[in-house]
Chain A
């Protein structure tokens, strides 16, 4: 499997998108994230791994603005976004998916994706009330773009269905399509492979690479080591909120601290 690992020249790939430095978040006495630092560049796939409860999702929530970090900074595209509202961060070009699917249940697949184009859609209340030509143009464009994204992620179901009527794997795809429809420069995927079968995981890997080829930076939280080792260019390992390793997949596999963390995790579970 090592021969499929991408060369570690990723840092030369593109502009620096995300710089997390010394990120810390504390809930009461528990330090969920404690001094996390890493960079992500345009068109780079970085994985964040670690045993359960290592603070991966907490770190994601801090970066995307859902939690207020108690320390450290997050810089995105040159701006400090440490304490900014999640919707503003999304508008600046960072998008995310959620660990437990969080699609809009009472909306159709197509409307779910169209919702993500909210901030780029040029129509006001009066356009909507009067169905002006501008409204019709904007909606037609929005629908076409949403369909483009659905096809891009390989969604093959019926776009008019409510999302709850879809099989699990298709819901995952819709969530990624929705995240892409915000037209991000950086995409954070929180366990996109959870609950998928082999075929779906293989397609997911191909999809992640195709998103990378658009020039989007990707941060991935994943438990499936096969998937992580294969798609990642760099891996950051967390344990008990602390960063214990940062390097290429080959380096991570050989790192004794990582091996220890994973063997030790069995006791906790």
Chain B
């Protein structure tokens, strides 16, 4: 019998409790080259680099394309929650960006809200949109979901074209920049004797919100309870149901969180463009953002940042090729997907020069009674088999074949399949 001292008996009223670990684990890696620490520092370096950049060059062109690139990073991080973590192929994600952009655009231009005041409404509208779009569609799987989300993306855009409150086909103009308690970015600021204009202040704001908060937030969600639930639904929905995870609510929560990320980014986009109209939310943009996620590496934070920067900056960098640039862009993409099919930086990719964890020490099992006992039992059984085969080997040649044949038939095919 097994060792009863190892674990407490079940209390009639409560569940079994987890046993204490029997072995200590190797300590987590420390130092600068520990993968997690290193990636954190790399992210911080990127963040600081983005903050310092305007002091090096502040040309309106660079500030403008980088602002929109970082907004794209935030949108892609939101889509990464839906596609990368939860594995839901969403072809109409730009709809949530549109909902966010229009909500803050309408509230600020018609009701005179400041952008800060519109954010709670943006979040609410996106949660609502996530539930309305996700509620019925998330009961579908894979291909069907993709088609339906594609349809919803178009519905939102066409609705915006035809409503008068959204300004119809011409959209909304004159969306103000952010202001806090009477002080607006438009007022500019003088710090350390340097004058910062509205565009640069908004750039700083976008860096902090999109790179600092949204990216770190989305990355953190991947590691907690929600993140594990999403990934389990992505890997095997039935098995995750068997683990007590309601697949539908898990998927809906991914959808809603993705929608909120997209919506807040949409609100930033509205400020950045200062005018929004339905063509800003065409299917092309859904496809581009999805491409950023897939190209970078689904479920991978550094990958998605790289993918989003690539997708938003490559057309600008290739501008000198004029009409040819989208062709070049396409060729580049094909090349990348041939050589790195899992994305530029796959989710489980670790830089080769980073410290590797020492292999876990082989654990001695001799002091565990049940392991010892099981080993003895197996040895006894093995001896018995050898004794049996010694007996059969003395039987004339023709008979063992027949015995082997019978065994082959009565063996469980599942066993044979598993053994491969």
Contact flag A131-B220 (CB < 8 Å), given A52-B413, A106-B348, A199-B378:
yes
Interchain CB contact under 8 A, A119 and B7: no
Number of B positions contacting A (CB below 8 A)? 74
Which of the candidate stretches A29-37, A203-211, A238-246, A248-256 sits at the interface with the other chain? A203-211
Contact between chains at B224 and A160 (CB < 8 Å): no
B41 CB to nearest chain A CB (Å): 17
| CB of A72 to closest CB in B, whole Å | 21
Closest A residue to B243 by beta carbon equals A116
Give the distance in Å from the alpha carbon of A128 to the alpha carbon of B16 in the complex: 27
In the assembled complex, A157 has its CB within 8 A of some CB on chain B: yes
Closest CB of chain A to B337's CB: distance in Å?
19
B164 within 8 A of A: no
Q: Would you give the 0/1 interface string for A138-168, flagging 1 where the beta carbon is closer than 8 Å to chain B?
A: 1100001111111110101111101000001
Q: Are A148 and B221 in contact (CB under 8 A)?
A: no
B393-415, CB < 8 A from A: 409-410, 412-415
Specify which chain A residues have a CB less than 8 angstroms from the CB of B415 in the assembled complex: 194-195, 223
In the complex, A95 Cα to B225 Cα: how many Å? 19
- A-binding segment of B21-29, B88-96, B321-329: B21-29
Report the bound CA distance from A178 to B16 in whole Å: 14
Segment of B55-63, B274-282, B311-319, B355-363 in the binding face: B355-363
* Residue ranges of A at the interface with B (Cβ–Cβ < 8 Å): 15, 42-43, 52, 64-66, 85-88, 90-91, 93, 95-96, 98-99, 102-107, 111, 114-116, 118-119, 121, 123, 125, 127-129, 131, 135, 138-139, 144-152, 154, 156-160, 162, 168, 178-185, 191, 194-195, 198-199, 201-203, 205-207, 209-210, 213-216, 223-224, 266, 269
Other A-B pairs beyond A104-B236, A121-B225, A195-B419, 8, CB < 8 Å: A106-B348, A125-B257, A128-B224, A128-B226, A149-B18, A183-B15, A213-B2, A213-B7
Could you give 14 example pairs across A and B, Cβ below 8 Å?
A: A52-B413, A91-B244, A102-B239, A115-B243, A123-B225, A128-B226, A144-B18, A144-B21, A154-B370, A183-B17, A191-B414, A198-B385, A206-B373, A215-B10
Chain B interfacial positions (CB closer than 8 Å to A):
1-4, 6-7, 9-10, 12, 15-23, 25, 217, 220-221, 223-229, 231-232, 234-236, 238-247, 253, 257, 299, 347-348, 357, 359-360, 362-363, 365, 368, 370-371, 373-375, 377-378, 381-382, 385, 409-410, 412-415, 418-419
